[in-house]
């Protein structure tokens, strides 16, 4: 009791810490971009599935975390062990990272595919109501989590890291690290690939058609089931890539329920930017990452998540379909 009273007395800092905000503006923006680009990649998975099926795929965070585990196991099977970061030649390092990305994408993509086949397709075939999908998503999410839990226990996998962050150059007072550059650039590239895929290819046209009007699309000869499967797989692949970047940034990230909060944020990012909208996912993800960091600087670390949700609610209040609006179907043709 005494201690808590004194704790209260000590805690008389100003409510809004503008000094920190200004001093750390660049540092927090860069940090936010880095984490935000991971949000963005995960958000793409939510957005694609929502755009096509109008389904909140709650289990997408598990698709992501399976990618994180795949990354860890790739590193582990390559012979790396927890402990100090090894010094690797550049070529070898790139090879390992690319291998991890491929494995994680495969694992996440397969997880998403299995999820669609086992959990969602039977429901679709029976013409189940939308809420039933939501519950199945929650059920599937629990199952996927529990598989990891029963297999690997509740502790995170011990950190294995191949690349130690090093400062490359400075922006203002903030330093930019190699890891940040890799994550942001790679994420944006992945996004460009996904965007091109959806907007420029035949499969992408199918996705857009089904998103716009499933019945008409079927009449036009689009194989709807295949398109839905494809959508899940693309979302899974992107989540797998995001998982590798996440594990590079936070090597302790492979934990059975570790995807939950990140998935929630990524989902919020998708809604913020305009769900069903690929550009919206990118914008929403980056914005959310940056806003979170600045909010934290302004109000203190404990308000980080509150800031994220307040911004989300405010945006929805003034732009009820997110910043860029929802429209996978209406994307430019």
Return the residues of window 202-261 that contact another protein according to CB under 8 A. 211, 213-215, 249-253, 258, 260-261
Nearer to another protein, 106 or 143 (CB): 143
Residue of 43, 53, 238, 281 interacting with another protein (CB under 8 A): 53
Q: How far apart are CA 235 and CA 113, in angstroms?
A: 10
Q: How far apart are CA 210 and CA 215, in angstroms?
A: 8
- CB 236 to another protein: min, Å: 18
- CB 88 to another protein: min, Å: 9
Rounded to a whole number of angstroms, the CA Rg of the chain reads 21
Region binding another protein by CB under 8 A among candidate stretches 105-113, 237-245, 264-272, 277-285: 264-272
| C-alpha dist (Å) from residue 190 to 28, 45, 227, 240, 278 | 23, 12, 20, 11, 12
Residue of 78, 99, 106, 128 interacting with another protein (CB under 8 A): 128
Q: Does 177 bind another protein (CB under 8 A)?
A: yes
Q: Contacts from 294-303 at CB under 8 Å and sequence distance 24+?
A: 294/21, 294/25, 294/28, 294/29, 294/32, 296/28, 297/17, 297/20, 297/21, 297/24, 297/28, 298/16, 298/17, 298/18, 298/20, 298/21, 299/15, 299/16, 299/17, 300/13, 300/17
Residues numbered 95 to 114 that lie near another protein (CB under 8 A) are none
Q: How far apart are CA 21 and CA 69, in angstroms?
A: 36
Contact between residue 234 and residue 197 where contact means Cβ atoms under 8 Å apart: yes
Residue of 133, 191, 232, 245 interacting with another protein (CB under 8 A): 133
- CB 109 to another protein: min, Å: 18
- CB 310 to another protein: min, Å: 7
Nearer to another protein, 27 or 106 (CB): 27
Residues numbered 281 to 320 that lie near another protein (CB under 8 A) are 292-293, 296-297, 300-306, 309-310, 312-313, 316-317, 320
> From the CB of residue 199, how many other CB atoms can be counted at a distance below 10 Å?
15
Size of the site for another protein (CB under 8 A): 123
Region binding another protein by CB under 8 A among candidate stretches 69-77, 101-109, 139-147, 233-241: 139-147
DSSP 257: T
Residues numbered 150 to 169 that lie near another protein (CB under 8 A) are 150, 153-156, 158-159, 161, 163-168
């Amino acid at each position: 009791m005494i201690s808590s009273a004194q704790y209260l007395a000590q805690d008389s800092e100003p409510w809004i810490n503008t000094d920190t905000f200004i001093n750390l503006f660049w540092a927090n923006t860069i940090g936010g971009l880095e984490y935000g680009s991971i949000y963005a990649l995960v958000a793409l998975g939510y957005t694609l599935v929502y755009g096509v099926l109008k389904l909140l795929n709650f289990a997408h965070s598990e698709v992501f975390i399976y990618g994180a585990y795949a990354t860890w196991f790739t590193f582990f099977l390559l012979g790396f062990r927890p402990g100090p970061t090894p010094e690797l030649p550049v070529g070898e390092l790139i090879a390992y990272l690319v291998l991890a990305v491929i494995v994680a994408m495969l694992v996440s993509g397969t997880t998403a595919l299995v999820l669609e086949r086992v959990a969602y397709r039977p429901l679709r075939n029976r013409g189940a109501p939308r809420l039933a999908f939501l519950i199945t998503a929650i059920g599937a999410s629990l199952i996927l989590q529990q598989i990891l839990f029963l297999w690997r226990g509740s502790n995170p996998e011990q950190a294995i890291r191949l690349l130690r962050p090093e400062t490359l150059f400075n922006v203002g007072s903030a330093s930019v690290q190699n890891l940040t550059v890799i994550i942001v650039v790679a994420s944006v590239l992945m996004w460009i690939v996904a965007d091109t895929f959806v907007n420029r290819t035949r499969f992408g046209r199918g996705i857009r058609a089904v998103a716009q009007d499933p019945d008409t699309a079927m009449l036009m000869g689009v194989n709807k089931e295949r398109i839905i499967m494809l959508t899940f797989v693309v979302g899974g692949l992107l989540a797998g890539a995001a998982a590798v970047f996440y594990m590079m940034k936070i090597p302790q990230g492979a934990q059975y329920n570790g995807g939950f909060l990140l998935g929630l944020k990524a989902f919020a990012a998708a809604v913020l930017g305009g769900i069903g909208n690929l550009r919206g996912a990118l914008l929403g993800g980056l914005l959310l990452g940056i806003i979170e960091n600045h909010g934290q600087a302004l109000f203190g670390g404990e308000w980080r998540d509150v800031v994220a949700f307040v911004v989300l609610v405010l945006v929805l209040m003034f732009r009820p379909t997110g910043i860029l609006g929802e429209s996978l179907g209406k994307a430019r043709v």
